[in-house]
Structure 1
């Protein structure tokens, strides 16, 4: 079983800014989301024996993982293959500005892989598939991961055998986790943290 969490809301998320490999701190709302994920995962997991918590190396994912670890009672490991998609020259830019500057690219969808010097879908899928292949088989697999909107979509897509279009059509909430088990994915809401 894998529980997949996206990091809590960050300052860049609130601004509509592309993060990619850059980082920004969790907002107050993001910290509340991380704590809520920790509470829910503690209920779902119960006894933490045999469980692993693996995070992307980026600060926003690690901050979320720390909140989860404190509640669940397991140490955090880091795996660079869970890092967010690099948006190259677009990292740190406002999404609205990029859409105005590149209307054709944004109108086509899947603009996440159109950035100059950005990472390709195939590169992200390759590193994620490599990570999944190293995990113990089900039902021995007991993993919690904390990653990102883009890389989390690809993890779920690779696990479920989805096409690229289906992978990118998935939701990326910051107040829920996904349980990946027996070839299926189930969304589990963690909190009613509302945008204030």
Structure 2
């Protein structure tokens, strides 16, 4: 993909567990139609568990060899991602005081759901049955809910983002702190996958504070790890930080 060919390392992480993740999980288990989240999407904070996950992620980043440490760190402007970035970077010595500045880019925001925001799958079927049927016919990749974005729309703004990143990253080592959809669509772009391939991959939930990495070789960027949460369950990490259905 043009926009990443000059990078040496591309690292992505999802934000830590948020109160929104918990609300959606509880709503699904209760058979509710709406998660009942009071904040707008941009203002949903981390849970206490999410803050601990971000600390553990930071300790993994702190252990990176010097030639793998990010020279550019970019976060989604959404609170849950931005706080994850700040907490994680505070655990590293290489990020302060003279390390890479944390930048914010609105193109890394979560996928916009429009009128479906906050609804469970049950809520969508009951409140917007025609929209649920349209989504079934079009497929998840191309379906754009009213007022929202399709996965293809997300790919368009990420292509723009990565073109700019290629020019802005000294040494070509980037860390992106964002959302599950950003990670999945980045894989679609970097590995030049098909709609069918990425929709199959998308069935595996992206863990909070997981790490996904690509490294440059003669043929371009090659996957090192995807959705890796080993640091959250490693010896010495607080218990209960590993992935669940949030």
TM-score by length of 1: 0.83
Distance 1:40 1:112, change over 3 A: farther
Residue 222 of structure 2 corresponds to residue 184 of structure 1: yes
Structure 1 residue 52, shift from structure 2 partner = 1.2
Larger radius of gyration: 2
Go from structure 1 to structure 2 and tell me whether the alpha carbon gap of 1:45 and 1:104 turns closer, same or farther (over 3 Å shift).
farther
Tell me what 1:85 maps to: 111
* Alignment equivalent of 1:147, drawn from 173, 178, 181: 178
Distance 1:23-1:111 versus aligned 2 partners, 3 A rule: farther
Provide the secondary structure at the position in 2 that maps to 1:180: strand
2:89 paired residue among 62, 69, 75: 69
Q: Does the 8 Å contact 1:20/1:91 carry over to 2?
A: no
Matches within 5 A, 1:1-196: 1-16=9-24, 17=35, 21-46=41-66, 51-72=71-92, 73=95, 74-101=100-127, 102=129, 104=133, 110=140, 113-136=143-166, 140-168=171-199, 169-170=201-202, 171=204, 172-182=206-216, 183-185=221-223, 186-187=225-226, 188-189=228-229, 190-192=231-233, 193-194=241-242
Question: Whole-Å Cα distance in 1 between the matches of residues 43 and 194 of structure 2?
Answer: 29
| Cα gap change, 1:50 to 1:91, in 2 (>3 Å) | closer
| TM-score with structure 2 setting the length | 0.68
Counterpart of 2:28?
A: none
Q: 1:121 and 1:139 mapped to 2: Cα distance?
A: 30
- Indicate the RMSD between aligned Cα atoms, in angstroms: 3.0
Secondary structure at the counterpart of residue 152 of structure 1:
helix
Q: Distance in 2 between matches of 1:136 and 1:87?
A: 29
Consecutive unaligned residues of structure 2, counting only runs of 5 or more, are 1-8, 25-34, 234-240
Give the secondary-structure state (helix, strand or coil) at the position aligned to 1:54. Answer: strand
- 1:75 and 1:11 map into 2 onto residues whose CA distance is 27
For structure 1, list consecutive stretches of 5 or more residues without a partner in the other structure. none
CA contact (8 A) 2:68 2:173 kept: no
Tell me, in whole angstroms, the C-alpha distance in 2 between the residues paired with 1:191 and 1:55: 21
